[in-house]
């Protein structure tokens, strides 16, 4: 088994958070507040660049970083999509059971609802930014914007809590967590380098700071600093460096314009700094508009 960073289980998680939700973890999550057809629609998996692969659905992006020591899976989509992810991983020639680390861009049901099932099936270690740990443990019931719907996914106890700038290691692969709060308190992007036969590619899986309709940028119960966090994230993300950028939703980085199911391997299709800048500018405009609302 590959050497992983030592698990840090804080007193906060072990005591104050875990106990209240021990019984809730055995209950089925409630009906999801919002679902799009594209979220569970199948999509042919493909190699993005080097040892990085797309294994998600038509719109809910899931990424496999394959290594000789096992694999890292970033995001899982909905719980019902777990069989699809398994099929996609196997179709690419990898073993589903070789997934060793599970990561998530943020603790919303459309990206983490499959974590519990995949963790049980593979024994993988689940790691998440520390400020999203509580939402993972209570199945999303404590989410500042969506918590009114109750639990929306099966609760999961993280194996390791991550901080900004922390490096996740698996074999020689190193993935850096970038804390970009706002969408959730622990929303995060991931930066790493992959290589193919020709060159190396610096990849950014960006958690784009979109703003939910339910979010108020001031006076938001459960997340009073949300407005400041969004402002900080929007400023910081403008300076991120990369060759390839991807995101939590395929629609956010125009996947279906850049890649068709029958297309050959072409990492350059995802060289799109202009698209990244345009997307951030649109989100900044949305932020400014929301800021004016009372």
| Mean pLDDT confidence for 124-137 | 99
CA atoms within 13 A on the CB side of 150: 8
> In terms of DSSP bridges, do strands 70-74 and 99-103 run parallel, antiparallel, or are they unpaired?
parallel
Q: Are 88 and 95 in contact (CB under 8 A)?
A: no
For the 37-292 domain, the top CATH level (class) is alpha beta
How does residue 28 score in pLDDT terms, banded at 50, 70 and 90? low
pLDDT of residue 190: 99
Domain ranges (residues) in the chain? 37-292
Give the global pTM. Answer: 0.89
DSSP, collapsed to helix, strand or coil, labels residue 93 as coil
Give the pLDDT band (50/70/90) at residue 34: confident
């Amino acid at each position: 088994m590959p050497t992983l960073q030592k698990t840090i289980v804080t007193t906060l998680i072990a005591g104050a958070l875990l106990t209240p939700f021990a019984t809730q973890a055995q209950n089925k999550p409630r009906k999801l507040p919002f679902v799009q057809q594209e979220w569970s629609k199948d999509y042919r998996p493909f190699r993005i660049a080097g040892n990085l692969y797309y294994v998600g659905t038509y719109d809910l992006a899931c990424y496999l970083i394959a290594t000789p020591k096992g694999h890292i899976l970033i995001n899982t989509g909905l719980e019902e999509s777990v069989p699809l992810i398994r099929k996609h991983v196997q179709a690419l020639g990898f073993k589903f059971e070789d997934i060793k680390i599970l990561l998530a861009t943020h603790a919303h049901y459309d990206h983490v609802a499959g974590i519990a099932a995949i963790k049980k099936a593979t024994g993988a270690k689940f790691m998440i930014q520390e400020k999203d740990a509580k939402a993972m443990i209570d199945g999303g019931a404590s989410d500042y914007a969506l918590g009114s719907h109750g639990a929306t996914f099966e609760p999961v106890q993280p194996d390791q809590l991550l901080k900004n700038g922390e490096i996740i290691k698996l074999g020689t692969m190193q993935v850096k967590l970038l804390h970009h709060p706002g969408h959730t308190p622990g929303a995060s992007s991931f930066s790493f380098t992959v290589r193919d036969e020709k060159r190396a590619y610096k990849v950014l899986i960006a958690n784009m700071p979109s703003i939910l309709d339910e979010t108020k940028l001031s006076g938001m119960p459960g997340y009073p600093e949300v407005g400041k966090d969004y402002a900080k994230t929007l400023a910081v993300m403008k300076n991120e460096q990369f060759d390839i950028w991807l995101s939590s939703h395929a629609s956010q980085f125009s996947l279906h314009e850049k890649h068709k199911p029958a297309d050959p391997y072409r990492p350059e299709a995802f060289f799109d700094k202009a698209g990244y800048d345009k997307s951030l500018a649109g989100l900044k405009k949305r932020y400014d508009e929301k800021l004016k609302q009372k």
